């Protein structure tokens, strides 16, 4: 490529904005990602915006996005404000670490969430699946209209908490548990603060800032109690040094040159709880949104479930590997409704990506959702067609570009919880379809995409009817 083909940031188009505030008023909403999608329609897949003078480059171009993701950690880091906001909340873990610190954090976390360990955690996933199944059986008998998002959140928090600390938190049956309530406060506040032009909370604490402080204190207290408990267990039972029984013990055990401080352990446990909860439960909720509108898909998942296992839920991990159609449902859901539709990065240096000249310190928003629903990459892109993910594909669907899917990010920093999340999704989708038919209790167009750092279906209400054999 010759020099005159290069594009400088100053040459990029910009959508219409306000004089001083720039694009902030339009962006300060519950559906930021959809505002970005509208701007892609207006300006194409590469443009710039500004919030009160602070400039961002926005890319919805999958080639550029994939390259930037792969150029981490050296070429790009996460948008530095994320680190600032998380550190201010006391969270200093793998998600916001950079450079060599990130490498140190990433290794044990990737190991703790490896396929081998997810297999070992499988009894936990199965136990929570059976609990939520019993609860939904009651709901179906009582014809209860179910707020599935809340229910799935309880499911994922119970799994993550047991994997993280070995603690059996039964939020599925005891919604009043305050731990979940405190965690629910965090994401919306990260979302608001990351794009706030002025950090008002540092000068004046509003009610929501005080609520956040209280929740952070409560979570800190619980996590440190678990850290102290785990330290005692390891001291009393040195065998745990060789075979830690959960994520927290694994982080506490000295591991070569990876030796974490208590603050880093706290940061990583907190990160895991945050990263593992909303993302997975929101993806499950979106799956339910589609399943309730596609009884023929539910039927196919059910047929597969009956073929693969005879029990109520897939009894062992090997069953899960055979649930190819349930997996395709999960995949298709995340294509259409990725719960992390955009990622925020910053360049570490002057760098050229594809044909774009990016100066050091440029803030970048990667809008990954747009390409996932474009005809160039997926034929009939707006249709829910799980078959496109099965080997051999669907003859009706010619364009199929899996590499454009960035639901779990990409490059060295791709989501280390991907395998755990997919396992939770496949098991629950398969189990629920085996036992129930679903009906949406609101019109599909009234289920709105809402973004609070992760994207969830607002107003999703579903009823469950038992399957009669």
Known binding-site residues for heme equal 415
Q: How far apart are CA 415 and CA 421, in angstroms?
A: 10
Peptide bond into 335 cis (omega under 30): no
- Closest to 466 measured CA to CA, from 418, 421, 434: 434
Q: Are 121 and 163 in contact (CB under 8 A)?
A: yes
* Number of residues in contact with ligand HEM under rule CB under 6 A: 28
- Closest to 155 measured CA to CA, from 133, 123, 184, 122: 133
| Position among 308, 416, 438, 453 found at the interface with ligand HEM (CB under 6 A) | 416
Of the two residues 24 and 428, which places its CB atom closer to ligand HEM in the complex? 428
CA atoms within 13 A on the CB side of 265: 24
Which stretch in 193-201, 222-230, 377-385, 407-415 sits in contact with ligand HEM by CB under 6 A? 407-415
Residue 160 interacting with ligand HEM (CB under 6 A): yes
Q: Are strands 462-466 and 436-440 parallel, antiparallel or unpaired?
A: antiparallel
Instruction: State the minimum distance, in angstroms, from the CB of residue 277 to ligand HEM.
Output: 8
Burial 344-364 (b: 16+ CB within 10 A, else e): bbbbbeebebbebbbeeebbb
Of the two residues 409 and 457, which places its CB atom closer to ligand HEM in the complex? 409
Residue 409 interacting with ligand HEM (CB under 6 A): yes
Tokens of 301: 């998942």
The dihedral sign for the CA sequence 166, 418, 148, 331? negative
Instruction: State the minimum distance, in angstroms, from the CB of residue 416 to ligand HEM.
Output: 5
Residue 272 interacting with ligand HEM (CB under 6 A): yes
The dihedral sign for the CA sequence 77, 78, 80, 84? negative
Instruction: State the minimum distance, in angstroms, from the CB of residue 295 to ligand HEM.
Output: 24
| Position among 43, 68, 85, 109 found at the interface with ligand HEM (CB under 6 A) | 109
Instruction: State the minimum distance, in angstroms, from the CB of residue 347 to ligand HEM.
Output: 15
What count of other Cβ atoms lies within 10 Å of the Cβ of residue 157?
A: 25
Within 4-63, which residues bind ligand HEM (CB under 6 A)?
none
The SS3 of residue 135 is helix
Of the two residues 43 and 64, which places its CB atom closer to ligand HEM in the complex? 64
| Position among 59, 66, 171, 279 found at the interface with ligand HEM (CB under 6 A) | 279
Residue 410 interacting with ligand HEM (CB under 6 A): yes
- Closest to 384 measured CA to CA, from 467, 444, 311, 342: 444
Of the two residues 109 and 212, which places its CB atom closer to ligand HEM in the complex? 109
Which stretch in 12-20, 214-222, 279-287, 455-463 sits in contact with ligand HEM by CB under 6 A? 279-287
CA 281 and chain centroid, separation: 9
Which stretch in 35-43, 120-128, 278-286, 427-435 sits in contact with ligand HEM by CB under 6 A? 278-286
Residue 323 interacting with ligand HEM (CB under 6 A): no
| Position among 15, 108, 166, 417 found at the interface with ligand HEM (CB under 6 A) | 417
| Position among 171, 340, 347, 367 found at the interface with ligand HEM (CB under 6 A) | 340
Question: What stretch of H or E contains 456?
Answer: strand 455-458
Q: Which positions ≥6 away from 264 have C-beta within 8 Å?
A: 92, 93, 105
Tokens of 59: 């890319």
Instruction: State the minimum distance, in angstroms, from the CB of residue 187 to ligand HEM.
Output: 13
| Position among 149, 161, 180, 283 found at the interface with ligand HEM (CB under 6 A) | 283
Q: Are 343 and 363 in contact (CB under 8 A)?
A: no
| Position among 49, 252, 420, 462 found at the interface with ligand HEM (CB under 6 A) | 420
Residue 275 interacting with ligand HEM (CB under 6 A): yes
Within 426-465, which residues bind ligand HEM (CB under 6 A)?
none
Q: What is the DSSP letter of 1?
A: -
Instruction: State the minimum distance, in angstroms, from the CB of residue 276 to ligand HEM.
Output: 3
Which stretch in 59-67, 137-145, 257-265, 339-347 sits in contact with ligand HEM by CB under 6 A? 339-347
- Closest to 230 measured CA to CA, from 261, 251, 255, 213: 251
Residue 336 interacting with ligand HEM (CB under 6 A): no
Instruction: State the minimum distance, in angstroms, from the CB of residue 16 to ligand HEM.
Output: 30
Of the two residues 425 and 440, which places its CB atom closer to ligand HEM in the complex? 425
Of the two residues 53 and 99, which places its CB atom closer to ligand HEM in the complex? 99
Structure-derived torsion over alpha carbons of residues 268, 270, 273, 278, reported in degrees to the nearest 10: -110
Q: Are 86 and 92 in contact (CB under 8 A)?
A: yes
Q: How far apart are CA 346 and CA 75, in angstroms?
A: 9
Tokens of 100: 């060599």
Residue 106 interacting with ligand HEM (CB under 6 A): yes
Q: Residue 466 region, left (φ>0) first, then alpha (ψ -120 to 50), else beta?
A: beta
Of the two residues 95 and 136, which places its CB atom closer to ligand HEM in the complex? 95
- Closest to 384 measured CA to CA, from 293, 322, 284: 293
Instruction: State the minimum distance, in angstroms, from the CB of residue 222 to ligand HEM.
Output: 17
Q: Binding residues for ligand HEM, per CB under 6 A?
A: 69, 94-95, 106, 109, 113, 160, 271-272, 275-276, 279-280, 283, 339-340, 343, 407-410, 413-417, 420-421
């Amino acid at each position: 490529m010759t020099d005159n083909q290069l594009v400088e940031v100053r040459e990029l188009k910009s959508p219409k904005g306000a004089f001083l505030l720039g694009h902030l008023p339009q962006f300060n909403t519950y559906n930021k990602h959809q505002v970005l999608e509208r701007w892609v329609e207006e300006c194409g897949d590469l443009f710039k915006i500004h919030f009160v003078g602070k400039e961002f480059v926005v890319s919805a171009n999958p080639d550029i996005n994939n390259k930037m993701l792969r150029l981490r950690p050296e070429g790009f880091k996460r948008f530095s404000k994320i680190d600032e906001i998380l550190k201010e909340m006391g969270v200093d873990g793998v998600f916001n670490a950079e450079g060599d610190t990130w490498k140190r954090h990433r290794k044990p976390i990737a190991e703790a969430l490896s396929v081998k360990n997810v297999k070992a955690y499988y009894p936990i996933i199965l136990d929570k699946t059976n609990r939520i199944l019993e609860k939904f059986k009651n709901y179906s008998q009582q014809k209860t209209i179910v707020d599935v998002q809340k229910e799935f959140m309880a499911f994922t928090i119970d799994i993550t908490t047991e994997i993280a600390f070995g603690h059996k938190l039964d939020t599925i049956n005891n919604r009043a548990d305050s731990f979940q309530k405190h965690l629910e406060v965090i994401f919306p506040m990260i979302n608001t603060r990351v794009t706030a032009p002025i950090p008002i909370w540092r000068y004046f604490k509003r009610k929501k800032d005080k609520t956040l402080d209280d929740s952070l204190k409560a979570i800190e207290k619980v996590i440190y109690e678990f850290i102290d408990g785990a330290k005692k267990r390891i001291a009393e039972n040195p065998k745990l040094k060789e075979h830690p029984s959960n994520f927290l013990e694994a982080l506490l055990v000295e591991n070569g040159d990876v030796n974490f401080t208590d603050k880093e352990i706290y940061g990583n446990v907190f990160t895991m709880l945050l990263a593992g909860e909303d993302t997975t439960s929101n993806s499950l909720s979106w799956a339910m949104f589609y399943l309730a509108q596609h009884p023929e898909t539910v039927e196919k998942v059910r047929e597969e479930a009956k073929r693969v296992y005879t029990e109520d839920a897939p009894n062992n991990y090997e069953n899960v590997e055979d649930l190819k159609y349930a997996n395709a449902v999960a995949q298709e859901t995340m294509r259409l409704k990725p719960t992390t539709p955009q990622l925020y990065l910053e360049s570490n240096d002057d760098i050229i990506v594809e044909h774009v000249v990016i100066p050091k310190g440029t803030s970048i928003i990667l809008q990954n959702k747009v390409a996932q629903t474009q005809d160039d990459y997926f034929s009939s892109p707006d249709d829910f067609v799980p078959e496109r993910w099965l080997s051999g594909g669907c003859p009706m669907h010619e364009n199929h570009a899996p590499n454009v899917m960035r639901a779990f990010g990409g490059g060295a920093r791709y989501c280390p919880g991907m395998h755990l999340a997919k396992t939770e999704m496949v098991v629950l989708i398969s189990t629920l379809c085996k036992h129930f038919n679903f009906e949406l209790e609101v019109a599909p167009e009234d289920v709105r995409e809402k973004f609070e750092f992760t994207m969830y279906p607002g107003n999703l209400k579903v009823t469950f009817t038992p399957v009669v054999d």
